[in-house]
Copies of this chain bind each other. A is one copy, B any other.
Amino acid sequence: MARPARVTIQQPDGRHVYLYGDHTPAPAGYQAPSIQPGAYQRRWNPLRREWVLVAAARQGRTFLPDRSQCPLCGSTPGHSTEIPAARFDAAVFENRFPGMLATADRPPPEPGVRIEPSSGVCEVVVYTDEHEGSFGTLAPQRLDLLVEVWTDRYRALASREDVQYVFIFENRGEAVGVTLHHPHGQIYAYPFIPPVPDIELRAGSRGCLQCRLLADELADGRRVLIGERGLVAYVPGYARWPYEVHLVVRAHLGALPDLPAAGRRALGSAMQRVARAYDSLFGVPMPYMMALHQRPTDGRDHPQAHLHAEFYPIMRDQGKLKYLAGSESGAGVFINDTLAEESAARLRQRM
């Protein structure tokens, strides 16, 4: 696929909407929703040595609306949504309830607390205008388009001076905290390199860690789920989540734009295979997080960066969730109730 068609619309409150592929304009009388004023800051947590985003205007965010009130569907004459189009293939818009806001005012100083404007960009990626379904059920054309949308957003956000890391992710399922059912994901463009990719990059400062881990998994083979079309998916031997899967591009490439278009299609297709295996594992839609780790966009070289997707499904068994409780949250130690080798065998039957 060549770069997809993109139409940019700026809403009256300044937020951008990007319509990808084909679309039909919004009906007459479309009323764009508006962002609410509020405090958007980041504060330095000196105990954990990490930034905490403060977004004290999100409490009123849309919470599991009825289907007829879905803000991610196309707009109709009676219902203006986030999308200024009656129908569309895929859409991205700046979140009306963001965790970061590039245009936020500089916060007042707090004695003893290091505070900065939150900066950053939070976008919502609407996978399709069809309300039902999920990433796992997207039709091939929509899936191909979605990966191109991610690639385009990575490029566009990477070019911003205030963005150091483009984080493409999906939260799926109410148990993960999802407040809208319409198939969608998100992009957070952080003004710093976040701790998790940062520690991965540091761990690989003497050569690519992903390349080594990939080779180890392929040599062993028992935890490998997919190994084809330039991609390898496996349950890492050191998984934290019972059915955690890492999907790694075999070639040492740092970000989506580095992949040829066919490689991107293969990546989307492999991601979908993982999501489908999850849904068949316990016979219910699996609540999961998907995190795409790519090269930082801070203008420095990161030769060790290696594109991969990490899936964290949060069920540990039929009807049972894995919680991040005292050991995980208060000590930082995960407990995994499964052996990665056994989890991989179970998942492989579903692929």
Residue positions of A touching B, CB distance < 8 A: 39, 43-56, 58-59, 63, 99, 110-114, 165, 167, 169-171, 176-178, 186, 188, 190, 194-200, 203, 209, 213, 216-217, 219-220, 236-240, 289-291, 293, 310, 312, 316-317, 320-327, 329-342
Closest chain B residue, CB of each to CB of A337: B58
Instruction: Return A175 CB to nearest CB of chain B, in Å.
Output: 8
Closest chain B residue, CB of each to CB of A318: B59
Interface of A is mostly: mixed
Please, how many angstroms separate the alpha-carbon atoms of A293 and B330 in the complex?
Answer: 8
**Partner of A59 from B51, B220, B316, B325 at Cβ < 8 Å:** B316
Instruction: Return A143 CB to nearest CB of chain B, in Å.
Output: 20
Contact B112 A196 (CB under 8 A): no
| A45 CB contacts on chain B under 8 angstroms | 236, 238, 240
| A112 CB contacts on chain B under 8 angstroms | 213, 216-217, 219-220, 237
Beyond A47-B203, A110-B341, A291-B331, 7 extra complex contacts between A and B, CB < 8 Å: A46-B213, A58-B337, A59-B316, A170-B326, A178-B325, A194-B332, A290-B330
| A334 CB contacts on chain B under 8 angstroms | 50, 52-53
Residue of A48, A58, A340 with most partner-chain B CB within 10 A: A48
| A317 CB contacts on chain B under 8 angstroms | 59
| A337 CB contacts on chain B under 8 angstroms | 55-56, 58-59
Residue of A177, A190, A239, A290 with most partner-chain B CB within 10 A: A177
Q: Given A48-B240, A111-B219, A111-B220, do A53 and B335 touch, yes or no (CB 8 Å)?
A: yes
Residue of A54, A213, A331 with most partner-chain B CB within 10 A: A331
Q: List 21 A-B contacts (CB under 8 A).
A: A46-B209, A47-B236, A52-B336, A54-B339, A58-B337, A59-B337, A110-B220, A112-B219, A112-B220, A112-B237, A113-B238, A176-B325, A186-B326, A194-B331, A195-B332, A196-B330, A196-B332, A199-B332, A289-B325, A289-B330, A291-B331
Contact B333 A47 (CB under 8 A): no
| A197 CB contacts on chain B under 8 angstroms | 331
Contact B188 A333 (CB under 8 A): yes
Task: Pick the 3 closest A-B CB pairs, nearest first.
Answer: A291-B330, A177-B323, A112-B216
| A56 CB contacts on chain B under 8 angstroms | 336-339, 342
**Partner of A326 from B114, B169, B335, B338 at Cβ < 8 Å:** B169
| A111 CB contacts on chain B under 8 angstroms | 216, 219-220
